[in-house]
Structure 1
Amino acid sequence: MTCLLDLSHELLQSILGEVDGHDLAALSATCRAFNSFVTGNRILCKSVYLRAWDHPIEAEPCWETSVRNLVALQKILESDDLETKRESFHWAAPLITPLLTVKNCSRNAPFLADLFKSQKNIDAFLASSSLFENAGNLTQQPAATPELRQLAAKLHCLYGVPIDCQIPPMLVQDDSDDNSPSPSYSVLWHPEATTESVQIPTNNYARAVVYDLRRYTEESLWGPFKSDGSQDVDWEKVEAIMLVLGYNMRLFNRRAPHVFEPVWEKPFDGASPNSYVSAKPTGIMRELSPPGDLDLQDPYGITGEWMRVVCFLDYHDLFSFNFLHSVPADQPRDPINTREAIRIIRLKLRVSAIEPPGPEDGQDYPVVSFTGTSWSLHASWDANANSRIRGTVRQTPKGEIRWTTFSIFHSEERWRSEGIQIGGPRSGRGVLGNWFDKDFDRHGPAGPTAFWKVSDYIEDGKDGEGEQSEGSLGDEESEGDTEYMSD
């Protein structure tokens, strides 16, 4: 009988190129001959890697190491031992993010989404930021170091589905009372859940992070950045923003299910560069403007229509939360479940200028300026209060994509926002960040915001003409607007 090792090198190479990474690793451990054949075999390892995963961002990585690392990662994620997962977090978690930075994430995102159907993987890898020191269930706890907690928060943001104990929209009964307050404790929903586990809602602790005005400083650019002037993203801030907005949008979607398509419901969806795909225009439209020269040079894909969500506390609640009780600077504020107002806003944006990056910017992408209009999808208090908007998009020194916007009312800039595009340029996930007073008033108001692209198409004509206004963010005009308050 012919032994497999008796085959020619070319034929054996062709056969082994069809196995998966697990089998290749097992095969190389069977005997010295197979180990010698696999070790250092760049072509074989490359073939095995590209059959299972997308091409890495590097042109020619060490394919053998890449296969070995992802096989080890997959083995940990498929393990049923929660403690083993936690002990492996420090080396396994850093392997996940690069899988989502590839140019074409057609295999890696489904690969991760399938593995993170496991609640134990969610608990060990995604629910390990500082937020879970007090929130979450008994199996969710923060990682050992600040760096690992930041990494866990980033993975949670890339995962994209807020980890909270609120019941997802698909489980809400049609006859439920949409105006009833959310319980302080609820049941953690998950497809694999077989028993009820009581936990503390993470959105209460996230809300205390988002509305803590001590975190809005010049060093943090009043946005989701670390308070050291470095422009490094504070992923625990971004995570808190996602949790608060996700909670409020789910409640809003229950009351007004047809205002916008549900977002942040599919794990790792749109969490990689160039993952945005424009919806086709529907209905009767006027002739569309062709892409301009600036649009063709824009690496961020700005021109088009976007949806935006803005949340805010009543100013009296915001002031009471921040200034009525003294809290040591190194301690977080207590969790709150004070209800917030929510605004759903439509944006039309166009590129207006492109400039080279400055000395404090990342050097891979230019600085792109844009202008446009925004209008609220809610009832307007002032038919003449349509808002115009301007802003810039640039790369940070660490390679993240930073968005800055200014909302302009009656020719005067009033609100500003700073945000980070989750997944990189042209990602489908969109931007998460903070809005605040353009004069950087330390007394507020301020709060969370997000926006995501819905179409590359903009009709010719005056943008926003006849549309409703964006309204106000936290001023006296918003008082009494309980129809769109979250519980």
Structure 2
Amino acid sequence: MSPTTLNSVLPIPSEITEQALTLCHPRDVASFSQTCRKARRLVYGTPDQYLWRQLFLLFPFDDPRQIPSPFLEHDQFNWRKELHRRMEAQLIASRTSSTLEDLLRAIETFISVVHSAAPVTWGHERVSSPNLLWVVDVLQSTNMLRSPLLFSQEGNQSLARLRAYLALTLDEYDDDDDEGKERLKSIRTRSRCQVYDLRNYHQDNDWGPFNIRSGKVDWTHIESIINVVSMNLDDRPYDWPDTRPRYGLEATRAYSAPGTTAPATRDWAGVEGHWRRYVCFMDYRDLFAFNFGNRGRGQQDSTYFDSPNFEEAARLIELKLVLIDDQAIPEVYTLDRFPDSPYKHYPTLYFTGSSWGIQGNEATVVGSVTMSEGGVVRWRFASISNAQIQWSSEGVQIGGVASAFGVIGTWTGFNHGHGDPVGPFWLYKVEDDHPSYMRALMNISVNAGTML
């Protein structure tokens, strides 16, 4: 910018100049600040951060002040720093020569942007989050997640967390895309090895998808569960076609689950209502051979799943849940309960209800939901039949509170005996007036039997 241009711009009142700069791209504003000292003071020297707040909101991004969360301090939100951070992540993603350190830093930024997406509100259920639109646009346009540098980072928790949120939505391929097919086949094999390896389940990680050492969520395991269940459903396009879980970044938004946009104060997690649950499992003989066969244990024998004779089952279960007081929990429910939540707005909730499948055999479900460290919502419940606890389940809400994505986790035999079966599940909420798919089939079966 020439001195003549500067003289013609800077005498203008700073408020007008700031307003004009809000219409520019943040990178252009940064360039303007380098033209002279007055320009730099105007861009970086104002204490109210009005310019950077406007640039942030008009980019556009979601307004962090609209996010009711004890984990975000809005009064300390640094508009300039956060906008710079996001612009840097976009630049890293678009480069062809970014370092691994840079890529992982960008991934952390994308996860932060997902976490700060505004919750769904009543009357605006179909309005998308600008935060999430931006993340998807950057990842799709740059193909960053296909970087060869990230292939060696399969155990990285941040990378796995972002992939879990995306749920293979960026891994679609055309019919003639042989490379894409092989990539998904490799993902599926790796995920099955993770999910069905009995060594990954211990008392120390609550027999669920958690890290043994830290006790935190094992996002590699969560990603694997999502991959296993979603690919099994893809193999069954004509089974339960009208009752599939929502997934992808929009489904991670808080209160995006049906009927939760105006949650009752008591039911902060949106527990009460109707749910669907997909469970997957291997034939017990296959599970035993995979874990204890002569060819090795667990992840050491990934070729086991390449056999044309291998089959994996998937079942749909329906549930109806209601909240209960702690004192009303049935005595038979001896599963460890969550400790009281330290977050006063998110007290630990207890629930019961019924579940049923295609065979018509109903079970009682009893469990609890708690807010754990870092804003992760955990679910723990058991299935009771004939006054006996048969199965226990541990899961994690994906995304915000009461997200449409639902709960991802693992089920195991309650006694956790040697060689007890394990499997993944995906639990998600549906509208209260959603037709009972299994009830309808059961009625058809009963009527057909009566006619015979």
Choose the corresponding residue for 1:347, options 319, 342, 352: 319
Choose the corresponding residue for 1:308, options 264, 277, 288: 277
Amino acid of the residue matched to residue 23 of structure 1? D
Which SS does the other structure have where 1:374 is aligned?
Answer: strand
Residues in 2 aligned to 1:358 and 1:198: alpha-carbon distance in whole angstroms: 39
1:262, distance to aligned residue in structure 2 (A): 5.9
CA contact (8 A) 1:319 1:443 kept: yes
* Alignment map for 1:14-413 (pairs within 5 Å): 14-41=19-46, 42-51=49-58, 52-56=60-64, 57-60=72-75, 61-77=77-93, 79-81=94-96, 83-84=97-98, 86-102=100-116, 104=118, 106-118=129-141, 120-124=143-147, 141-143=151-153, 149-161=156-168, 186-188=178-180, 200-228=185-213, 230-252=214-236, 254-256=237-239, 258-261=241-244, 263-264=246-247, 267-278=248-259, 295-325=264-294, 327=296, 332-337=300-305, 338-353=310-325, 361-363=341-343, 365-376=346-357, 378=358, 380=359, 383=360, 385-413=361-389
Residues in 2 aligned to 1:246 and 1:465: alpha-carbon distance in whole angstroms: 24
1:19, distance to aligned residue in structure 2 (A): 2.5
Residues in 2 aligned to 1:119 and 1:72: alpha-carbon distance in whole angstroms: 14
Which SS does the other structure have where 1:141 is aligned?
Answer: helix
1:205, distance to aligned residue in structure 2 (A): 1.2
- Decide whether aligned partners of structure 1 residues 30 and 75 sit closer, same or farther in structure 2, where only a CA change above 3 A counts: farther
- Decide whether aligned partners of structure 1 residues 447 and 226 sit closer, same or farther in structure 2, where only a CA change above 3 A counts: same
CA contact (8 A) 2:92 2:103 kept: no
Residues in 1 aligned to 2:130 and 2:433: alpha-carbon distance in whole angstroms: 28
| Alignment root-mean-square deviation, CA | 3.3
1:345, distance to aligned residue in structure 2 (A): 1.6
Which SS does the other structure have where 2:265 is aligned?
Answer: helix
Amino acid of the residue matched to residue 92 of structure 2? I
Unaligned runs of 5+ in 2: 65-71, 120-128, 328-336, 444-452
Which SS does the other structure have where 1:334 is aligned?
Answer: helix
Length, aligned pairs only: 403
1:359, distance to aligned residue in structure 2 (A): 5.3
- Decide whether aligned partners of structure 1 residues 116 and 88 sit closer, same or farther in structure 2, where only a CA change above 3 A counts: same
Residues in 1 aligned to 2:431 and 2:387: alpha-carbon distance in whole angstroms: 27
Q: Whose helix proportion is higher, 1 or 2?
A: 2
Residues in 2 aligned to 1:375 and 1:159: alpha-carbon distance in whole angstroms: 30
1:114, distance to aligned residue in structure 2 (A): 1.2
Residues in 1 aligned to 2:142 and 2:82: alpha-carbon distance in whole angstroms: 26
Residue of structure 2 equivalent to 1:181: none
- Decide whether aligned partners of structure 1 residues 236 and 62 sit closer, same or farther in structure 2, where only a CA change above 3 A counts: same
CA contact (8 A) 1:162 1:242 kept: no
Residue of structure 1 equivalent to 2:448: none
Amino acid of the residue matched to residue 143 of structure 1? Q
- Decide whether aligned partners of structure 1 residues 396 and 332 sit closer, same or farther in structure 2, where only a CA change above 3 A counts: farther
Residues in 2 aligned to 1:421 and 1:95: alpha-carbon distance in whole angstroms: 21
* TM-score normalised by length of structure 2: 0.80
CA contact (8 A) 1:208 1:336 kept: no
CA contact (8 A) 2:117 2:131 kept: no
Amino acid of the residue matched to residue 233 of structure 1? V
Which SS does the other structure have where 1:263 is aligned?
Answer: coil
Residue of structure 1 equivalent to 2:423: 447
User: What percentage of aligned pairs have identical amino acids?
Assistant: 27
Residue of structure 2 equivalent to 1:420: 396
Q: What's the CA shift string for 1:405-432, capped at 9, x where partnerless?
A: 2112223221111000010311121111
1:8, distance to aligned residue in structure 2 (A): 0.4
Which SS does the other structure have where 2:252 is aligned?
Answer: coil
Amino acid of the residue matched to residue 209 of structure 2? P
Residue of structure 1 equivalent to 2:15: 10
1:453, distance to aligned residue in structure 2 (A): 1.0
CA contact (8 A) 1:160 1:269 kept: no
Residues in 2 aligned to 1:300 and 1:110: alpha-carbon distance in whole angstroms: 25
Residues in 2 aligned to 1:270 and 1:323: alpha-carbon distance in whole angstroms: 38
Q: What's the CA shift string for 1:189-246, capped at 9, x where partnerless?
A: 7xxxxxxx86752111110110000111000100000113x43111111111111111
- Decide whether aligned partners of structure 1 residues 412 and 295 sit closer, same or farther in structure 2, where only a CA change above 3 A counts: farther
Residues in 1 aligned to 2:260 and 2:143: alpha-carbon distance in whole angstroms: 35
* TM-score normalised by length of structure 1: 0.74
Residues in 2 aligned to 1:35 and 1:246: alpha-carbon distance in whole angstroms: 51
- Decide whether aligned partners of structure 1 residues 393 and 263 sit closer, same or farther in structure 2, where only a CA change above 3 A counts: same
CA contact (8 A) 2:295 2:301 kept: no
